[in-house]
Amino acid sequence: MLGSVGWPATPPTRAWPGPQLPWQVAYELDFTRLPSQTISGSSVTIGGVGWSVSNATNADTFDLLEGTGLRVAPKDATQFTSSTRTAPWLQVEFDDLMEDHDRTDRLIVQLRVAIAGLSADYQSYGLMVGSGSDANDREVGMLETIWATSLNVRSTRMISSETNLDTSVSAEPRVLQCAWRAPCVETRYSTPEAWPRPQDATIASYDFVLANQVPTTSDGNFAAATNIVRLWAERNNAAAAYTATFEAIRVLRQQL
């Protein structure tokens, strides 16, 4: 027995992901308006939400400064790569930022930053999204502003290895944006300070696939993990000290 005539009602499309739905602001936090506090140890409450902290001792400065924002000044020889994650970072689950989060939700994470004045290999800071709560932080997408010979916006996928795509920029973007639509991430950036509409930001990388599951008898990390967003800053190769400043974060959501 075949299906009834005229089903489905919507017109066909080969596009993937499917047509866009309206975006709603599901979470927004202005770090600049929070009371000052030093960040240390393995957890911190920011804006009423618990964040996980790692490598706090590898930061010369790691705090909230009222009027300025979330500051991370990484020590030298700190990295945030597929193989080494000694850089200081903060992490929160999407589940904790919005009610009724489902992994089929499409999310856009926008991070507003201050210009840090990157000038030497390898100073960088940014955000990471994905199913990063497994032991090795695999299957994640990253977007960072990095000095690597020159100033770039770098999109990265971490699975069993690290794949990078650099986009040369003339100035540090004020907004970094990662769109999450499982199992893909798309990255964008914007120079103006104001929050951009998602489609107005400049694309850094088109959708790339986070999971690299091959035929298997057990569920992979991607299927079992929770989704997170992580903010971090690194400094390597004896680059000069600098301070990354995260001013605000917001999460837009489409619910299918």
Partner 1 sequence: MSAWPRPSKTAWPPSPDRWRLDYEVDFRGEATQTISSSPVTIAGKSWTVVNVGNADVFAVTNGTGLQIGPATGTQYAQATKDAPYLKIDLDELVAKYDRADRLFIQLRVATVGLSADYQSYGLVVGGAKGDGNDAAMLENQYNGGTVVRSARFGGAEWNLDSGSAEAGFLGMEVRPLYASTWHSATANAWPRPSEMTQASKAFVLFNSGPLASAGWHGTSSMNLRLFAERNNGAGAYTAVIEGLRILRQLQ
Residues that bind partner 1 (CB under 8 A): 1-3, 7-8, 10-18, 43, 45, 50, 52, 93, 95-96, 101-104, 133, 141, 155-157, 163-165, 167, 182-184, 187, 204-209, 211-220, 222-227, 256
Tell me whether residue 110 or residue 156 sits nearer to partner 1 (CB atom). 156
CA distances in angstroms from 217 to 136, 160, 251, listed in the order given? 20, 19, 35
Tell me whether residue 10 or residue 170 sits nearer to partner 1 (CB atom). 10
- Pairwise CA distance, residues 80 & 124, whole Å: 9
Question: Which of 1, 6, 88 minimizes the C-alpha distance to 41?
Answer: 88
- Pairwise CA distance, residues 126 & 94, whole Å: 17
Amino acid at 175: V
Please, what is the minimum distance in Å from the beta carbon of residue 58 to partner 1? Answer: 21
Please, what is the minimum distance in Å from the beta carbon of residue 55 to partner 1? Answer: 17
Tell me whether residue 69 or residue 132 sits nearer to partner 1 (CB atom). 132
Tell me whether residue 71 or residue 106 sits nearer to partner 1 (CB atom). 106
Please, what is the minimum distance in Å from the beta carbon of residue 217 to partner 1? Answer: 7
Please, what is the minimum distance in Å from the beta carbon of residue 207 to partner 1? Answer: 6
* CB environment 201-238: b (16+ within 10 A), e (fewer): bbebbeebebbeeeeeeeebbbeebebbbbbbbbbbee
Tell me whether residue 200 or residue 219 sits nearer to partner 1 (CB atom). 219
- Pairwise CA distance, residues 192 & 112, whole Å: 10
Tell me whether residue 156 or residue 190 sits nearer to partner 1 (CB atom). 156
Give DSSP secondary structure letters for 87-131.
Answer: S-EEEEEHHHHSTT--TTSEEEEEEEE------STTEEEEEEEES
Please, what is the minimum distance in Å from the beta carbon of residue 78 to partner 1? Answer: 23
Please, what is the minimum distance in Å from the beta carbon of residue 194 to partner 1? Answer: 26
Token readout for 114 is 């201050």
Query: How many C-beta neighbours within 10 Å does residue 255 have?
Result: 13
